[in-house]
Structure 1
Amino acid sequence: MQGSSTSGECIWLTRVYPLARTSHVLALQEAGAPPASAQPVPGRTWTQNGRTVAEYLWRPGGSRGGDFYLYWMRTDTSPSGNGRVNLAMVVPAAQRARDVVIAWDTNPAHQSVRPALGILPTDIDQYVFTVHASAQASTGRGRAGWDAPRIVSAIECEMAARGRRQWIAAGDWNRLPDNWASQGGGTTLQVAPSEPTRPASGAVIDYAVINRTLTLPTMARTEHNRGGGQSDHLPVFLHFGS
């Protein structure tokens, strides 16, 4: 979203809402601040690994626009305001989260730049995460997306603690989907579109990583005509199931 706070409510209404109304789960990166039309739900916050997720009731366009739940977590480290590089997820009211997970290894030796935000929607059997790997190469690692395997490891740890083997992690991995085998990708599969998701670079860096035990049929495609404009990435539609 390139930080929705830069344009406020308008981006949420014109770019996010059209995607949310046709999705079971919408995973957002660089989500900026929550829209003014979203109201915090009392008693619905989750704190884990030093971060907090808040649930909001979102009614874009008033009551006729339908009810959605927004899960928002600050991951931006700038000292003032909400910042730009935050994570969020949006679901229709019928898919309200049964559980919320913040997957992050707080040990600096294993830590990713940002945690992953996951929810267990009402009618979906798998946890779904939104992720945003580092866009900056790290000293000694040499490439963007160097922390992507660390994000996956943190997710796997949280899922093991909950007795869950199947999960979906979607977002901006900042690395190509065929660049996982040498870095601990043996337990995962990548579900990616064939077309570039960031046209400026011609790269496919927005896709889903799933646990290999998830055997549902999968499909991924870029959405050229929906949700673009503000972002330099194209939305990616992911479908799991027959």
Structure 2
Amino acid sequence: MIFNKFLVNIKIGLLNSLTIQVSIYVLQEGDILYNNEDIISIKLKLLKSMEDSIIKAFKINFPNDIINPLIKKFIPLEEDKKNNLTDIRNNYLKLVKAVLNNWKRAGLELTTYVYERHGYSWGKKLKENYNIKLAEDIYKILKNYNLDGSLKSSYNITHKDNNTVKFYVKKQILIDTWREYKINHSIMYDLDRAWKEAFVNGLNPNFKLQATAENIDGIDVFVYTIFKK
């Protein structure tokens, strides 16, 4: 989380007779947070709710003798946050991998549904806390609330106006991230896209996110466009 530092003169004392200079710190533009929480706390809650959503859906639809061994013990969110962030992501992606391996198409359909519902519900939840009027407002929120926080600094904007923001992520960065979980990167791309599309719809149904695979200056990238309908 990045802050800008400002020096401010403040008058105190009787009749404002004494002036002191203090430093204040303001969150840098682009870091839009919910309830002033830090990025890691937000990401923990986001990923934990994703894990819980997946567990709930999978336990209802698939045999417990396969699902239960994959469910890890409760992880206290406020202890060792950075490691817990990795643990929670590992937990739910291992569940996704197991379901895709065991139930193929049915597993993929259910997983896609969970991603869509989770993205939409989080977007709708956050909608009440922000004044979302421009495409850039949605872009800034998406940067903080995507499922993989490590990609935040990898977003590259190619076009921006009031109604549209177009940005890309290098394809290899995403593939490397997904490869460590040994899940087909095409499937993970589709799941991630489904979550982003639903999240934007939940934030403001007047806007839409569209994803395409392109080549920019000889580099394969995934391009995302947030635009007003």
| TM-score when normalising by structure 1 | 0.29
| TM-score when normalising by structure 2 | 0.30
The answer to which structure has the higher helix fraction is: 2
Higher relative contact order (CA 8 A, sep 6+): 2
